Structure 1
Amino acid sequence: MATTLAPVLSDHWDADRSWTLATYEDHGGYRGLRRALGMPAADVVTAVKDSGLRGRGGAGFPTGMKWGFLPAPDGGPRYLVVNADESEPGTCKDIPLMMASPQHLIEGVIITSFAIGCHHAFIYVRGEVVHVYRRLLRAVEEAYAAGYLGKNILGSGYDLEVTVHAGAGAYICGEETALLDSLEGLRGQPRLKPPFPAVAGLYARPTVVNNVESIASVPGILVGGADWFKQMGTERSTGHGLFSLSGHVTRPGQYEAPLGITLRELLEMAGGIREGHELKFWTPGGSSTPLFTAEHLDVPLDYESVGAAGSMLGTRALQIFDETTSVVRAVTRWTEFYKHESCGKCTPCREGTFWLAQILQRLERGQGTTEDIDLLLDLCDNILGRAFCALGDGATSPVTSAIQYFREEFEAGTHTPADVLFPPERSSLFDYTPRRSPAALAGVHA
């Protein structure tokens, strides 16, 4: 069992001006790139495969294997696209990483591009996070000035251009093929697969799409070696990862630890649940993963163990909720998000998320019917596995798992509003001011 943190990506986040190239170099930055440029590209791919690094964006697919899916070079371009469109409720690891140490990502981009034979890489950033976009632009500018990007990088003969692109703000563009369409200037909607991006991706050329944390983890593997990386984590879920604790926890934040650590251990380091309260439910991998409860405190947070327990490790967004929280209200808010962010391309997701939200809102108001709970489950069954992409499947996860563990709260929604059962001011982390009707406000100002 892991009992300590493993600061690798977050090692110098507390350093003065940690986001600058000078600070990154002072802490050993770009050693991995220098080592990679002295190796055959195929050996770099092998090193990442041997490390066991799995995609840190949620799917957990082996990163080196994904690179290996590219077809043999045919003389045309091939691309690396970094998915930095982090936007799921509760997921907040890539944005802090890019803010505190963008050069980690830039170095990873260069090494990965060299390994797969790419000469033009793209970083697709969520448009709303303008501060991150500007910081990445400055980091790329510094890397060009230092000779890490552009022509003949470090005298190796290898050339690479990097483009930082800001999306227009759509959760669906976190899906890799919708991201590619958006990057091409089209409406962001998922593509039919096959062909997969490795064969026909950006501009119909072979393309690798990886998450920010996946790419940022590559330099450490080149410096420390595959065996160093495999010493952390578990046998099948190797290495370190950023665990984002938010909600009713004493010290929320980013905790970088080996995969396989438990929530109980993380909570001990984070000061536990806020004083005077106890854990009610939590998300192991973001709002699109099935909920866990206090009985899952000792589940190792690795891909296999979380999956065996009935959920997904996902993005390791650990949203913590204590006993003051209405699970009906929480699930309703998440479902409203998925309804709003559905691209509308397929009927199960477009129509299903709309009706899920309608029914949940009734239950939250205490105006539900005895048939509503079974209707929710029936709707989820008609969405799961039938939607065009994973958004629809993810939207069903909090609903079905919440009913599994807290059915009595949904049954209470047939007669009592959630605000009565769980007053919002008790669960709020900040000063709570309830919304007042226009009539009430008119009375105040009369």
Structure 2
Amino acid sequence: MIINNLEELQAFSEKSKQALNRQRKKVLVCAGTGCVAGGSLEIYDRLGQLIKERGLLADLELEHEKEGIGIKKSGCHGFCEMGPLVRIEPENYLYLKVGIEDCEDIVEKTLMRDEPVERLMFSADNHIYKAQEDIPFYHKQTRMVLKNCGSINAESFTEYVAKGGYEALRKALLEMEPMEVCQSIIDSNLRGRGGGGYPAGRKWSQVLKQNSEVKYVVCNGDEGDPGAFMDRSIMEGDPHGIIEGMIIAGYATKSTAGYIYVRAEYPLAVERLRIAIGSARKHGILGKNILNSGFSFDININKGAGAFVCGEGSALTASIEGERGMPRVKPPRTVEQGLWAKPTVLNNVETFANVPLIIKNGSDWYKGFGTENSPGTKAFAITGNVNNTGLIEVPMGTALKEVIFDIGGGIKNGKKFKAVQIGGPSGGCLTEEHLDLPLDFDSLKKVGAMIGSGGLVVMDEDTCMVEVARFFMNFTQNESCGKCVPCREGTKRMLEILENIVNGKGTLEDLDLLEELSDTISNTALCGLGKSAASPVVSTLKYFRNEYIEHVVDKKCSTHTCKALASIVIESEKCKGCSKCSRVCPVNAISGKIKEPFVINKSKCIKCGACLEACPFNAIREV
């Protein structure tokens, strides 16, 4: 069905809401990448089969008026630690770690008798949390951008419209001029969620003012930070939200074409975007003369090959053009000469997903969340040594400890919190002294960190911070495009120094050289990624210098992470002289007599750990 004008869109919305309301219960099976890997599609098929067998199945087609139960593949619910997940509405039950064997109980008890399956619900301190919103992981979140992720059929145009989708587009086209749209985004103070925090409205107004018949809107979905999956989840769970934001940006800047650049490693996101774009075209939301408004706009998808540097704006546009993804010298900026040297709006996925909310509800409403200089919410992917890993969304300015200990559930296995890496390879480490720090652009910048795209990697007391710095420097060095000498050669030299340190070959002079190289790279690299490449090293040197000194002076790693610095000893008072350790040693470094304590020749030991596993008396340990 083609929607020909704004009035028909309003009518379609009303009919869609009526069709959705005919589903007396809704079964939302998480079909985000994590739950799919855990078997959620098989659960979806089995639940669908059981519902159909009992004659309970409803649908969302406008020409039918059948009431019943709707089952749908949703996007990521966020509580990834507990997947596969199934949400039941209107009760808002959330079932955790669901297996095929649980499907009959869900259908028989919940769908047919309105009874919860309590064994599948979250419980803590002898309390069962029946409603999803009451679970501690969700209770302190404010889900705005992620509101539809996990609560609608991610592949349904009709359901998106029924939930209020494209109302913001209708408002923009019917009631606002392009500059008014730009001004609304300026007034909201929406800042780019890709890491830099540049005001989105200012960027849009700059493109609008450019004297060019051809302009572009580009969505950066090239999410490359280790441990980050916010943009992926939004693309998988609410693709129409991104499309609506891009169309509004196109109208506001008088652009006629949009491109979504998404890495090929996100096949599910690509597929959902393709389905959504196809549906939008089919219904007249994309293409020529949209809704008879005189405005034309279309969107294409470009898949990237996974180069981290293509997250940088000029490298990304070069990749879309078919060139090698490498940054260029600025100015001119992207707003002046971006894609094919034409004025270009470039924002990331989460930024565009905020746009319909602002246009629909107003800039004052949006500024009611977050802080004065960082309004709104931010999605974070929380991973690492934390009990509740997953995807969360909180108001800007939320304290770090609230994210880690209230939402994240604290550190695994009762360990002590040590640090959190925020902002990926371009970010820095925050420590216990920063737990009260509000998570917003300005507060993080003051302590030498950045929000980045929103990855939070939590580390416990057993984490070696020198190895953390080496890991991120290895990632950055491998991903350097090689165009500028500071990044190409500087990161290589820094990696060599860090590898020497973790291998017991470092010196105190190396620490001074690391700081000197960090300063040089930060001040002279070509692009933003190069300028921030040394951030993990800088922050770990600042807050964990004692660990570096321990590595280079004492030749010791107290966390036993750096195997080259470990020593394996046999405690003579525990050793029974059984000889099992000597029999498994591949280099014959262990000797002794039966029924007498054995000893390890440290000059021959390769620290493989075979003896640790073989000893039945726990007489062997690392020091």
TM-score by length of 1: 0.91
Which residue of structure 1 lines up, in the alignment, with residue 156 of structure 2? 20
Q: What is the letter of the counterpart of residue 17 of structure 1?
A: N
Q: Deviation string for 1:193-245 (max 9, x for gaps)?
A: 11111111111111111111111100000111111100001111111111221
Looking at structure 1, the residues matched to 297 and 557 of structure 2 have their Cα atoms a distance apart, in angstroms, of 55
Which residue of structure 2 lines up, in the alignment, with residue 164 of structure 1? 301
The 5 Å alignment of 1:385-400 reads 385-400=523-538
TM-score by length of 2: 0.66
The 5 Å alignment of 1:212-223 reads 212-223=349-360
Q: How much does 1:346 deviate? A: 0.5
Q: How much does 1:360 deviate? A: 0.8
Q: What is the letter of the counterpart of residue 361 of structure 2?
A: G
The 5 Å alignment of 1:276-287 reads 276-287=414-425
The 5 Å alignment of 1:350-429 reads 350-414=488-552, 415-416=554-555, 418=557, 421-422=560-561
Q: How much does 1:357 deviate? A: 0.9
Looking at structure 1, the residues matched to 559 and 401 of structure 2 have their Cα atoms a distance apart, in angstroms, of 31
Q: How much does 1:386 deviate? A: 0.4
Which residue of structure 2 lines up, in the alignment, with residue 90 of structure 1? 227
- SS of the equivalent of 1:32 reads helix
Q: What is the letter of the counterpart of residue 290 of structure 1?
A: G
Which residue of structure 1 lines up, in the alignment, with residue 446 of structure 2? 308
Q: Deviation string for 1:231-268 (max 9, x for gaps)?
A: 00111111111122111111111111110101111121
Which residue of structure 1 lines up, in the alignment, with residue 475 of structure 2? 337
- SS of the equivalent of 1:291 reads strand
Which residue of structure 2 lines up, in the alignment, with residue 427 of structure 1? none
In structure 2, the gaps of 5 or more residues are 1-138, 564-584, 588-605, 611-623
Q: What is the letter of the counterpart of residue 36 of structure 1?
A: A
Looking at structure 1, the residues matched to 210 and 451 of structure 2 have their Cα atoms a distance apart, in angstroms, of 35
2:147 paired with 1:7: no
Q: What is the letter of the counterpart of residue 474 of structure 2?
A: E
Q: What is the letter of the counterpart of residue 9 of structure 1?
A: V
Aligned residues of 1:119 and 1:159 also touching (Cα < 8 A)? yes
**CA RMSD, Structure 1 to Structure 2 (Å):** 2.1
Q: How much does 1:370 deviate? A: 2.6
Q: Deviation string for 1:383-439 (max 9, x for gaps)?
A: 111000122222111101101111121122225464962379xxxxxxxxxxxx999
2:457 to 290, 303, 319: 319
Aligned residues of 1:71 and 1:199 also touching (Cα < 8 A)? no
In structure 1, the gaps of 5 or more residues are 425-436
Q: Deviation string for 1:58-87 (max 9, x for gaps)?
A: 000110001111263545211111111110
Distance 1:138 1:351, change over 3 A: same
Q: What is the letter of the counterpart of residue 392 of structure 2?
A: Y
Looking at structure 2, the residues matched to 333 and 72 of structure 1 have their Cα atoms a distance apart, in angstroms, of 44
Aligned residues of 1:52 and 1:62 also touching (Cα < 8 A)? yes
Q: How much does 1:110 deviate? A: 0.7
The 5 Å alignment of 1:42-441 reads 42-70=179-207, 72=209, 74=211, 76-267=213-404, 268-414=406-552, 415-416=554-555, 418=557, 421-422=560-561
Which residue of structure 2 lines up, in the alignment, with residue 432 of structure 1? none
- SS of the equivalent of 1:5 reads coil
Aligned residues of 2:463 and 2:559 also touching (Cα < 8 A)? no
Q: How much does 1:307 deviate? A: 1.9
Q: What is the letter of the counterpart of residue 169 of structure 2?
A: L
Looking at structure 2, the residues matched to 308 and 338 of structure 1 have their Cα atoms a distance apart, in angstroms, of 23
Aligned residues of 2:155 and 2:275 also touching (Cα < 8 A)? no
Looking at structure 1, the residues matched to 306 and 557 of structure 2 have their Cα atoms a distance apart, in angstroms, of 31
Distance 1:75 1:265, change over 3 A: closer
